[in-house]
Amino acid sequence: MSDLFNSSLRELSAALAAKKVSAVELASLFLDRIDRLNPGLNAFIALDRDKTLAQARAADEVRKIGAGVTAISPLCGIPLAHKDIFCTKGWRTSCGSKILENFVSPYDAHVVEKLAAAGMVTLGKLNMDEFAMGSSNETSYFGPVQNPWDVSRVPGGSSGGSAAAIAARLAPAATGTDTGGSIRQPAALCGLTGLKPTYGAVSRYGMIAFASSLDQAGPMAKSAEDCALLLNAMAGFDPRDSTSLERSTEDYARDLEQPLAGLRIGLPKEFFGEGMDADVRAAVEAALAEYRKLGATAIEVALPNSGLSVPAYYVIAPAEASSNLSRFDGVRYGYRAPEYDDLNDMYSKSRAQGFGAEVKRRILIGTYVLSHGYYDAYYLKAQKIRRLIAADFVEAFKHCDVIMGPTSPSVAFAFGAKSADPVQMYLSDIYTISTNLAGLPGMSLPCGFGNNNMPVGLQIIGNWFGEAKMLNVAHQYQKATDWHLRMPSLAGAAQ
pLDDT band per the 50, 70, 90 thresholds, residue 325: very high
pLDDT of residue 427: 84
Residue ranges, CATH 3.90.1300.10, the chain: 2-265+398-493
pLDDT digits (tens, 9 = 90+) for 372-431: 888 889 999 999 999 999 999 999 999 999 999 999 999 999 999 998 888 888 888 999
pLDDT of residue 2: 62
pLDDT digits (tens, 9 = 90+) for 159-209: 999 999 999 999 999 999 999 999 999 999 999 999 999 999 999 999 999
Calculate the alpha carbon distances from 292 to 188, 225, 432 in Å: 22, 21, 24
Q: Give mean pLDDT, residues 143-165.
A: 98
Q: Give mean pLDDT, residues 459-474.
A: 98
pLDDT of residue 210: 97
pLDDT band per the 50, 70, 90 thresholds, residue 132: very high
Residue 157, SS3 per DSSP: coil
pLDDT of residue 112: 98
What average pLDDT is seen over the chain?
96
pLDDT of residue 493: 65
State if pTM tops 0.75: yes
193-196/217-221 β-pairing: antiparallel
Calculate the alpha carbon distances from 24 to 44, 54, 70, 121, 291 in Å: 20, 8, 22, 9, 41
pLDDT of residue 248: 93
Nearest partner of 269 among 298, 232, 312, 246, judged by Cα: 298
**CATH 3.90.1300.10 at 2-265+398-493, yes or no:** yes
Give me the sign of the Cα torsion angle 81, 82, 83, 84. negative
Whether the per-residue pLDDT at 67 is higher than 60: the answer is no
Q: Give mean pLDDT, residues 311-317.
A: 96
Q: To the nearest 10°, the Cα dihedral for 300, 302, 308, 309?
A: -70
Calculate the alpha carbon distances from 357 to 209, 221, 350, 354 in Å: 18, 31, 14, 10
pLDDT band per the 50, 70, 90 thresholds, residue 68: low
| 280-286 long-range Cβ contacts below 8 angstroms, 24+ apart | 280/406, 280/408, 280/409, 280/410, 280/411, 280/450, 280/456, 281/406, 282/448, 282/450, 283/447, 283/448, 283/449, 283/450, 283/456, 283/458, 284/404, 284/405, 284/406, 284/447, 284/456, 284/458, 286/447, 286/448
Query: Does residue 154 contact residue 182 with C-beta atoms inside 8 Å?
Result: no
Query: Does residue 162 contact residue 174 with C-beta atoms inside 8 Å?
Result: yes
Residue count of the chain: 495
Calculate the alpha carbon distances from 339 to 311, 352, 356 in Å: 39, 13, 19
Q: Give mean pLDDT, residues 117-132.
A: 98
pLDDT band per the 50, 70, 90 thresholds, residue 273: confident
Q: Give mean pLDDT, residues 221-238.
A: 98
Share of the chain above pLDDT 90, in %: 92
pLDDT of residue 370: 94
Q: What are phi and psi of 145, to 5 degrees?
A: -95, 140
pLDDT of residue 428: 87
pLDDT of residue 419: 84
pLDDT of residue 372: 87
Query: Does residue 303 contact residue 266 with C-beta atoms inside 8 Å?
Result: no
Residue 366, SS3 per DSSP: helix
pLDDT digits (tens, 9 = 90+) for 79-100: 999 999 999 999 999 999 999 9
Share of the chain above pLDDT 70, in %: 98
Q: Which residues carry out catalysis? A: 83, 158, 182
Q: Give mean pLDDT, residues 338-349.
A: 96
